[in-house]
Amino acid sequence: MTTKATTTRSALDRVRQALTERVGVLADTSRPEGPAFLAATAGTEIAKATGIGVLEKLSKPLIVPAALTIALRDGRRDGLPLRPVDTALLSATAAAYTTGDVILMLGDGHASREVGRLAAGAAAFATGHLALGALMLRSGLRFKPVQSAVHGVVAGTAAAVLLAEGRENAPLAAYGGLLATLSALATSVDRSHGRGAAVLAVAGPVFLLSDSLILARRKVEGGTAPARALDVGVIDTYATAALLLLTGTAAAARHAGSRA
């Protein structure tokens, strides 16, 4: 029991340290991509809170590219650049996520009840999840039983709720299963994948939370205070998850490359 508690505490300490380092990079004005990420996220939050559509269109598509830049430039700081295939997979992930952002943004955003548009956005994000999952596997991450079981329950519950609303939600239920699978893989990270990869333990669940908030937002009347709070919450969690997924996976890939 004592050994298990010590192991858990050690894992939490690694995650806390990795998150602290990530915050430090965002605040580092000598690296413009950090402030750019914060500005893009804040601009989108303000747009969602105030309903200024133009500001959202200027800000939201920049969130993931800024996060990608941070992930790529981390290698220069650490002296461990990514291998070409790893860079390609990470860039494909960012391109797919940004495409999904644009597809959803040009509709009714988080409030959209149009299953076709949501499915198109989900397809774009699913492409990114597959590319990122492939990179995680290349970097040595493997599914662990407990994480897989927990995420299986989450995916099953979400699918049941969506399908109860209508069979047309089947593509969204399938997407939820894929995201839960990615999160299960991400949360299977351990010390063998390098210090910077520890943020993956947080990234997957936060992405799941973000998409859960989108589902909740569809039930709330637009223009109300709860609706705007949910919109801002979606952006907060999404930007955080995207940043941690990209940088954490890049860190795992660089660590694996250093041992190759």
| Helix, strand or coil, per DSSP, at residue 121 | helix
Tell me which residue has tokens 């492939």. Answer: 134
Cα(131)–Cα(226) distance, integer angstroms = 34
DSSP 167-226: GGGHHHHHHHHHHHHHHHHHTT--GGG-SGGGGHHHHHHHHHHHHHHHHHHTTS-TTSHH
**Residue 172, both tokens:** 């969204």
The DSSP 8-state label assigned to residue 143 in this structure reads -
The DSSP 8-state label assigned to residue 102 in this structure reads H
Helices (H), ranges, the chain: 2-26, 33-50, 53-59, 63-78, 84-105, 115-138, 145-165, 170-186, 200-217, 225-259
- Amino acid (1-letter code) at residue 206: V
For the four alpha carbons of 179, 181, 184 and 187, in that order, the dihedral sign comes to negative
Using one digit for the tens of pLDDT, what is the confidence trace for 33-43? 999 999 999 99
Question: Confidence class of residue 126 from pLDDT cuts 50, 70 and 90?
Answer: very high
Residue 8 has pLDDT above 80, yes or no: no
Cα(131)–Cα(85) distance, integer angstroms = 11
**Domain-wise residue ranges, the chain:** 11-259
Which residue, 54, 162, 62, 174, is CA-closest to 113? 162
Question: Confidence class of residue 106 from pLDDT cuts 50, 70 and 90?
Answer: confident
Tell me which residue has tokens 């298990």. Answer: 4
Cα(109)–Cα(30) distance, integer angstroms = 34
- Amino acid (1-letter code) at residue 57: K
Provide the pLDDT for residue 7. 63
Using one digit for the tens of pLDDT, what is the confidence trace for 194-224? 989 999 999 999 999 999 998 888 788 777 8
Supply the mean pLDDT for the chain.
90
Provide the pLDDT for residue 4. 59
Which residue, 228, 238, 230, is CA-closest to 61? 238
State the average pLDDT over residues 161-183.
Answer: 93
Let me know if 239 is exposed, middle or buried by CB neighbors in 10 A (0-12, 13-18, 19+).
Answer: buried
Provide the pLDDT for residue 175. 95
Provide the pLDDT for residue 112. 58
